[in-house]
Homo-oligomer: A and B are copies of this chain.
Amino acid sequence: MSDLVVLGSAVDAAQRVGNTLGVFAFGVSGALLAVRKRFDVVGIAVLAVATATGGGIIRDLIIGETPPTAFVNPMLAGVALLSAVVIFFWHPPRKLVRTPLLVADAIGLGIFCVTGTVTAFQHDMSTWASAALGVVTAVGGGIIRDVLAGVTPSVLSDGELYAVPALLGSAVTAALLHYGWYTYWTGGLAGAGAVALRLVALWRHWHAPVARPHRRRDAV
């Protein structure tokens, strides 16, 4: 119990800063997709807020933390709305939106897989379930964004690795927590590693293998 409290205070500040950055990054990614889809200012705001808070809301519902943090702490939705305002006034031309969108999304992914895992672990979830919830937190907002905008979710078919970096970041974080090695620095490293892996995969076009086609019988 007291260990958990100490752990709690040790990571709380970093987690709060990290969460805020993650919310902003995912808010930007939602707003940029809305710009690309030519949605209006309301659509930009809705998609920014849904992307930025969606993963955390799903995580909180699953661990039974109701109401979810996003409905208790007005700062999260506020930061997401701020990201929508920024993008509404200051965004790259529609043709060039793709790269900023991918980078913002990668940063949100890396941050949320760590903070999501930590939050779940603090709520007495097992090590493997904490890692699973880290992945859910990291990919949940992006899935909601893509489903609302009518785009195939990155996690399923973006070609370049997306769930894999989230899974690695979450698994490493869960292991750090399990063995009591979690600190600002090790956690930050896990998140940075996930962001780096995603960006390198995008840059070098790393793909997960596709199921081997049955060439002889499936020829088209």
A34-B93 contact given A61-B62, A125-B71, CB 8 Å threshold: no
Contacts of A196 in B (CB 8 A): none
Q: A46-B156, A66-B61, A74-B128 are in contact. Are A209 and B92 (CB under 8 A)?
A: no
Dominant SS at the A interface?
helix
Contact A41 B210 (CB under 8 A): yes
**Could you say which of B62, B95, B132, B161 contacts A66, with CB atoms under 8 Å apart?**
B62
Query: Is there a chain B Cβ closer than 8 Å to A211's Cβ?
Result: yes
Task: State in angstroms the CA–CA spacing of A91 and B214 once bound together.
Answer: 9
| Contact between A94 and B213, CB atoms less than 8 A apart | yes
A164 interface residue, CB < 8 Å from B?
yes
- Which one of B37, B42, B77, B150 lies within 8 Å of A163 (CB-CB)? B42
A9 proximal to B (CB < 8 A): no
Q: How far is the CA of A42 from the CA of B63 in the complex (A)?
A: 25
Residue interface mask A120-150, B partner, CB < 8 A = 1: 0000011011001100000000010001111
A49-90 contact mask (Cβ, 8 Å, vs B): 1 or 0: 000000001000111101110011010010000000001110
Q: Interface residues, chain A, CB within 8 Å of chain B?
A: 34-35, 37-47, 57, 61-64, 66-68, 71-72, 74, 77, 87-89, 91-96, 125-126, 128-129, 132-133, 143, 147-150, 152-153, 155-157, 159, 161-164, 207-214, 217-218, 220
